């Protein structure tokens, strides 16, 4: 291939890829999945789950024996007493020792067993906490996503109103030129267009801020080219409102993670009390020790007749000394607590207090859940009524505006009154959008209590 053609093709591919990346539109599912993968709080919670798993391994390890080995070697250089002659002389002696120790808990007031059970509960609690954090983040992302959609549609409404008023300006200009309307009406329409331009600018700023909020939740580096899909991912679904608050609450007690967290924390507190009481009981520990030693020093070699030192002889071999000097010990050690300055009793009482606090926390969580469910149900119903009222108001404002426009065309209404009618129509359109997305978000909250996730797999 011609190098120029190859370079052109490569450049085209790069530009196309960059353009596609820049023009990507994010769906709600894209946003939620990205947030769950990159959120710092979730990553910290995942590390907490890993720590709970490590604590479980530690608790399991308490059932296993402990094994340790030791070894040492020393040199003694200088004036030492010769053990064969009793005389002081300069010599070097060496000493080697080695040993191993094994210990295992035979009975420890069932503390090891209860600690393992507590560790298992801590793993479950950490997983529940991670799930709760993911649900909260998904709900926050959905709320921010809905705000972007609302501001996009609101910007369209304001732009459409600007187009309508611009056409009205041209029509008014024609009527003024024809002498049907006074010139002051033309000025009123220009003021209206100026106000429309300001509304468009405010809507653009609101959309920019909404996108910024969403990208911060997603922790994206840039938001200038960020945009969401225009497809209608949210429907005005009223199925959840067919349920009763009591039915939703009963389902929430089975599904909601915050209640499971409180219940698990209560069980953990109960295990802490049992573990603390285990310190009242005696402990029995088995042990086994092994040790041996080896020494090195010049041994005097004497004449068998005169007893005179005629030289030195080497010490016994290392392996022989190690075998001859080895020793072993094993047995069991019983420890019975008698008095420890009320430390055990105070620890038990302290954990009992924590257990009572956990019981109160569980009761409070149940009450909070019940209140939140009934509040969410009431809010959703109120949001639906507000939306329905906004639809009716928009219909009335549309008819009023059309009637006002007809009167303006025949000279029975001035431009100021027409402008007021247009402003009320624009406000009604914005109110429909606001109540629509407010209802959608509140139904999402209610669906979460009923066990329906934000993103349905």
Place of tokens 């789950």: 49
Per-residue pLDDT tens digits for 19-41: 443 457 898 889 999 999 888 88
d(CA 405, CA 419): 10
SS3 52: helix
Question: Residue length, the chain?
Answer: 457
- What are the structural domains of the chain? 24-64+110-282+342-449 (1.20.1600.10), 66-87+94-107+283-335 (no CATH)
Per-residue pLDDT tens digits for 348-374: 999 999 999 999 999 999 999 999 999
Q: Calculate what percentage of the chain has a pLDDT beyond 70.
A: 86
d(CA 207, CA 197): 15
d(CA 307, CA 196): 126
- Residues 77-96 have a mean pLDDT of 69
Give the pLDDT confidence score for residue 237 in this predicted structure. Answer: 75
d(CA 418, CA 55): 73
d(CA 153, CA 453): 26
Share the mean pLDDT of the chain.
84
- Residues 379-404 have a mean pLDDT of 93
Per-residue pLDDT tens digits for 130-187: 999 999 999 999 999 999 999 998 998 889 888 888 887 887 787 778 777 777 777 8
Give the pLDDT confidence score for residue 309 in this predicted structure. Answer: 53
Give the pLDDT confidence score for residue 456 in this predicted structure. Answer: 67
Please tell me the pTM assigned to this model: 0.77
Q: Is the pLDDT of residue 9 over 50?
A: no
């Amino acid at each position: 291939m011609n190098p120029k053609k190859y370079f052109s093709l490569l450049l085209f591919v790069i530009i196309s890829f960059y353009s596609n990346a820049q023009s990507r539109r994010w769906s709600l599912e894209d946003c939620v999945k990205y947030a769950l993968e990159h959120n710092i709080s979730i990553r910290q919670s995942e590390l907490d789950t890993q720590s709970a798993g490590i604590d479980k391994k530690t608790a399991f390890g308490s059932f296993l024996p402990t094994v340790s080995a030791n070894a040492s070697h020393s040199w003694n250089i200088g004036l030492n007493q010769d053990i064969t002659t009793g005389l002081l002389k300069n010599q070097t002696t060496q000493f080697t020792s080695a040993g191993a120790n094994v210990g295992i808990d035979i009975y420890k007031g069932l503390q090891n067993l209860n600690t393992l059970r507590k560790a298992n509960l801590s793993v479950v609690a950490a997983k529940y906490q991670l799930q709760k954090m993911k649900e909260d983040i998904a709900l926050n992302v959905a709320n921010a996503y809905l705000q972007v959609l609302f501001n996009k549609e609101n910007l369209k409404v304001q732009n459409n109103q600007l187009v309508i008023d611009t056409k009205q300006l041209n029509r008014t200009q024609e009527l003024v030129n024809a002498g049907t309307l006074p010139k002051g009406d033309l000025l009123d329409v220009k003021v209206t267009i100026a106000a429309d331009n300001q509304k468009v600018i405010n809507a653009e700023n609101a959309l920019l801020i909404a996108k910024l909020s969403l990208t911060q939740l997603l922790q994206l580096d840039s938001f200038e080219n960020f945009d969401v899909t225009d497809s209608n991912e949210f429907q005005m679904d009223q199925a959840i409102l067919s349920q009763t608050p009591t039915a939703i609450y009963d389902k929430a007690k089975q599904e909601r993670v915050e209640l499971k967290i409180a219940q698990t924390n209560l069980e953990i507190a109960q295990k802490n009390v049992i573990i603390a009481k285990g310190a009242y009981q005696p402990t029995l520990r088995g042990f086994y020790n092994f040790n041996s030693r080896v020494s090195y020093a010049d041994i005097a070699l004497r004449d068998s007749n005169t007893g005179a030192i005629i030289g030195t002889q080497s010490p016994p071999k290392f392996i022989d000394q190690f075998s001859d000097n080895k020793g072993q010990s094993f047995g069991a050690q019983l420890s019975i607590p008698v008095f420890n300055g009320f430390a055990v009793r105070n620890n038990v009482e302290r954990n009992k207090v924590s257990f009572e606090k956990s019981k109160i926390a569980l009761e409070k969580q149940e009450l909070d859940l019940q209140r939140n469910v009934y509040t969410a149900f009431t809010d959703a119903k109120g949001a639906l009524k507000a939306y329905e009222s906004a639809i009716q108001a928009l219909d009335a404002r549309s008819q009023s505006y059309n009637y006002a426009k007809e009167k303006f065309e025949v000279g029975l209404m001035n431009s100021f009154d027409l402008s007021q009618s247009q402003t009320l129509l624009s406000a009604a359109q914005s109110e429909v959008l606001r109540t629509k997305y407010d209802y959608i978000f509140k139904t999402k909250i209610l669906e979460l209590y009923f066990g329906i996730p934000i993103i349905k797999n």
